[in-house]
Structure 1
């Protein structure tokens, strides 16, 4: 899996950026602008490209960038997404904190997660 830097992820206009961080982290630190918040426990279910309960608006070919706090659990989640048929799933090197440190767009945290 080729992981992305914050600048590389930001440069992908059609990417689905998926924030899997817990609510308390998102409230304290914010969220990536235009990201979708998906609880980790339902991630594969909601992004399965063949599933009836998948999120609308993306295909198996859509680049998916998974984000956690520092880029550890997101690597495992992206690997799992590749295994269920999302070959362009990857994660963000350094996680949300690297994105924020790079000065890229963020919003106030607390967005309702997809469950």
Structure 2
């Protein structure tokens, strides 16, 4: 049995509508007050560290945490801010950026290459979080 849409189809659809940013350009936004970094990796992945100041939201909870009507809402999801989403290598954050776009977040950007590319570029990393 074949799926009507596989992950490659979903990624292609997402990439057709979302904005992307390089690690270098994302690093330039690190201190901007109107930007929020959102780490979509699982809790265990935080042992590698994270981008300084990033809010952690596992991908599986994104819709609940982003929606201001939800009791789980995280104020990091401010529609007035530019949201820079990332995961380990970019797949989950691509789909998350599309989901946020569909929810009405107009200033959402996926960081290409994810945390792996960030760390490999020598960009600042907050050390181990309490996992």
Q: TM-score, normalising length from structure 2?
A: 0.75
Please list every run of 5 or more consecutive structure 2 residues that lacks an aligned counterpart in the other structure. Answer: 1-17
Query: Does the residue aligned with 2:20 lie in a helix, a strand or coil?
Result: coil
* Residue in structure 2 matched with residue 95 of structure 1 by the alignment: 114
1:55-96 CA distances to partner (integer Å, 9 max, x unpaired)? 225531311111111111100001000111101112110000
* Residue in structure 2 matched with residue 83 of structure 1 by the alignment: 102
Pick the structure with greater CA Rg: 2
User: Are residues 1:56 and 2:56 paired?
Assistant: no
8 Å CA contact 1:37, 1:111 repeated in 2: no
* Residue in structure 1 matched with residue 38 of structure 2 by the alignment: 18
The 1:21/1:58 distance shift into structure 2, 3 A limit, reads closer
Please list every run of 5 or more consecutive structure 1 residues that lacks an aligned counterpart in the other structure. Answer: none
- Number of equivalent positions: 110
Structure showing greater relative contact order (alpha-carbon pairs closer than 8 Å, 6 or more residues apart) = 1
